[in-house]
Amino acid sequence: MVKLKDLVGNSCKLCPRECGVDRNRFKGLCKTYNKLEIASYNIHCGEEPPISGKNGSGTIFFAGCNLGCIYCQNYPISQLVKAKRAVTTEELADIMLKLQRKKAHNINLVTPSHFVHLITEAIKIARNKGLTIPIVYNTSSYDKEEVIYALDDFVDVYLADLKYTDNKISKELSGVSNYFDVATKAILAMYRTKGKLVLKDGIAKKGLIVRHLVLPGFLKNTERALYWIKENIPDVTVSVMFQYFPAYKALNHEKLNRKINPDEYFYVLNLVEKLELDGYIQEV
């Protein structure tokens, strides 16, 4: 099995972009160096019911991102990399333990792909100090398949996007031309290692939730994404999200400069019902 730290070294190949940058000296395409940077951490109650539960999810937002989504709703954190602070692996471990003491149901790692080699070290430290709640890997799914297998002992629940099924769209909207190929391999690896969602008292303990954010004007993309899920992992838990609003560069995009309209909303609802997908649908 691959050692995650070996994928960084002096030529970073940790994520599928394989930018080859020496992140000890320069920022990679993820906009970060080879050191942990977080934007914030807190109890978050806005995730899916088995993630947030009653007490909330112990969410840690990491700075930077290995995608460049023009509509990112967290763009000050992910794209502009503002309001960040560097932390050591020991400090990150202490943050996890602090969130556990606040009665969080889990540790929710948001946009962790470009820091996984350091996050896993922090998880080791935190577990040695008494961390027992599940680790949630909250990702765009633009992750290497080999990295997902290397995370098997560290991650309990995957909260994984399936953004696009058309690589031309992913290039236009997120800056990568191989998203669908990469993400579907990663999602299948997540499913092979963690399986269906396992709940205890309504809270996720293990497994996979596949998310899809519906974008205005891109219903064919949504349709293909939901059909792919049905055909490849039909018993997986799905989360269909309608929270989109124009942000960042999307304000100037001819399709993305508006919210979802009622026709689009009901079209997707009917499609989910037709495919008999199990999971969660976000209310508008």
H/E/C letters for each residue in the chain? CCCHHHHCCCCCCCCCCCCCCCCCCCCCCCCCCCCCEEEEEEEECCCCHHHHCCCCEEEEEECCCCCCCCCCCCHHHHCCCCCCEECCHHHHHHHHHHHHHCCCCCEEEECCHHHHHHHHHHHHHHHHCCCCCCEEEEECCCCCHHHHHHCCCCCCEEEEECCCCCHHHHHHHHCCCCHHHHHHHHHHHHHHHHCCCEEECCEEEEEEEEEEECCCCCHHHHHHHHHHHHHHCCCCEEEEECCCCCCHHHHHCCCCCCCCCHHHHHHHHHHHHHHCCEEEECCC
Per-residue pLDDT at 101 exceeds 90:
yes
Tell me what the pLDDT averaged over the chain comes to.
97
Six-digit token string for 246? 């124009």
pTM of the complete model beyond 0.95: yes
Q: In this structure, are strands 198-200 and 107-110 parallel, antiparallel, or unpaired? A: unpaired
CA–CA separation, 32 vs 198, rounded Å? 34
Tens digits of residue pLDDT in 45-75: 999 999 999 999 999 999 999 999 999 999 9
Per-residue pLDDT at 128 exceeds 90:
yes
| Mean pLDDT along residues 160-170 | 97
Confidence of residue 82 (pLDDT cuts 50, 70, 90): confident
Share of the chain above pLDDT 70, in %: 100
- Cα dihedral sign for 12, 209, 37, 151? negative
Confidence of residue 284 (pLDDT cuts 50, 70, 90): confident
Rounded (5°) CA angle 224-181-246: 60
Per-residue pLDDT at 81 exceeds 90:
no
Tens digits of residue pLDDT in 134-143: 999 999 999 9
CA–CA separation, 19 vs 41, rounded Å? 28
Confidence of residue 18 (pLDDT cuts 50, 70, 90): very high
Six-digit token string for 101? 């003491």
4-207: CATH number: 3.20.20
Per-residue pLDDT at 1 exceeds 90:
no
